[in-house]
């Protein structure tokens, strides 16, 4: 909990006192264990999740059997909110990427609060707009930008959520999430390591030159941050 007595999730921190009082009795603290599935495409959701730390990968599966990440969420977001407000059926997979903790809220309680509070509904809608913008930007990035810039963007986002320059990642997992072959990730990671931007060892990537990594990234990283800031920055 933060000094305010609220879970350290950006959306929960933004709630007014009345809405947090509605939510508080229903929140359950849980561990986010790596590779835990929080939502599965086509399956009914039981909970929405407000991460405190760690990171959750939002992915879609392709007919060819591949999957690709469309967004990465952490303490700045909510897992399953859009589906909970619609029909309760997940439209994408949500899998824990970096371990952490979260507050879970059963879908009926989430819906009841949304029905009772216009400010709560507004905040949840703004979050879904930010998530949609994130997914759109990822689509553009994956279509138009070289793997090196895409990898830099991804690492920067992961660093923001993990608050660490050391990321527990395999090249295979990175390739899968970015929708590219593993050898493409290996070549780019090797290039970045030779440039002194990252240090790679088995199952771990360390960012060693943040400014150079930012310069290597495409503009999509800054665009996503701008969307979140515009839609999810407390007023006043």
pLDDT of 156 above 90:
yes
When the pLDDT of each residue in the chain is averaged and rounded to a whole number, the result is: 91
CATH architecture of 146-217: Orthogonal Bundle (1.10)
**Which is more confident, 68 or 101?**
101
Express each pLDDT in 59-99 by its tens digit: 988 766 678 888 999 999 999 999 999 999 999 999 999 99
CA–CA separation, 208 vs 71, rounded Å? Answer: 24
Phi, psi of 104 (to 5 degrees): -105, 145
pLDDT of 1 above 70:
no
CA–CA separation, 164 vs 234, rounded Å? Answer: 25
Residue extent(s) of CATH 1.10.10.10 domains in the chain: 146-217
CATH architecture of 10-118: Sandwich (2.60)
DSSP 118-178: HHHHHHHHHHHHHHHHHHHHHHHHHHHS-HHHHHHHHHHHHHHHHT-SEE---HHHHHHHH
What tokens does 142 get? 């994956």
**What mean pLDDT do residues 108-135 have?**
93
Phi, psi of 171 (to 5 degrees): -65, -35
pLDDT at residue 118, rounded to an integer:
95
**Which is more confident, 225 or 66?**
225
∠ at Cα 31 (27, 33), nearest 5°?
A: 140
Residue extent(s) of CATH 2.60.120.10 domains in the chain: 10-118
């Amino acid at each position: 909990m933060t000094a305010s007595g609220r879970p350290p999730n950006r959306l929960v921190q933004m709630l007014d006192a009345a809405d947090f009082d509605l939510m508080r009795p229903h929140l359950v603290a849980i561990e986010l264990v790596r590779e835990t599935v929080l939502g599965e495409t086509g399956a009914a959701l039981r909970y929405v999740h407000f991460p405190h730390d760690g990171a959750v990968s939002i992915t879609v599966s392709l007919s060819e059997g591949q999957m690709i990440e469309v967004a990465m969420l952490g303490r700045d977001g909510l897992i399953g909110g859009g589906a909970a407000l619609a029909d309760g059926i997940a439209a994408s997979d949500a899998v824990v990427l970096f371990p952490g903790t979260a507050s879970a809220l059963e879908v009926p309680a989430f819906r009841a609060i949304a029905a009772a509070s216009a400010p709560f509904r507004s905040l949840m809608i703004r979050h879904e707009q930010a998530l949609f913008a994130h997914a759109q930007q990822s689509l553009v990035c994956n279509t138009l930008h070289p793997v090196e810039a895409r990898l830099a963007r991804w690492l920067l986002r992961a660093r923001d959520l993990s608050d660490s320059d050391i990321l527990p990642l395999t090249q295979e997992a990175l390739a899968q999430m970015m929708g590219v072959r593993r050898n493409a990730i290996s070549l780019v990671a090797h290039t970045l390591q030779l440039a002194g931007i990252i240090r790679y060892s088995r199952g771990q990537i360390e960012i060693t030159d943040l400014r150079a990594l930012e310069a290597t990234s495409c503009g999509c990283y800054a665009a996503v941050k701008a969307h979140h800031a515009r839609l999810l920055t407390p007023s006043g």
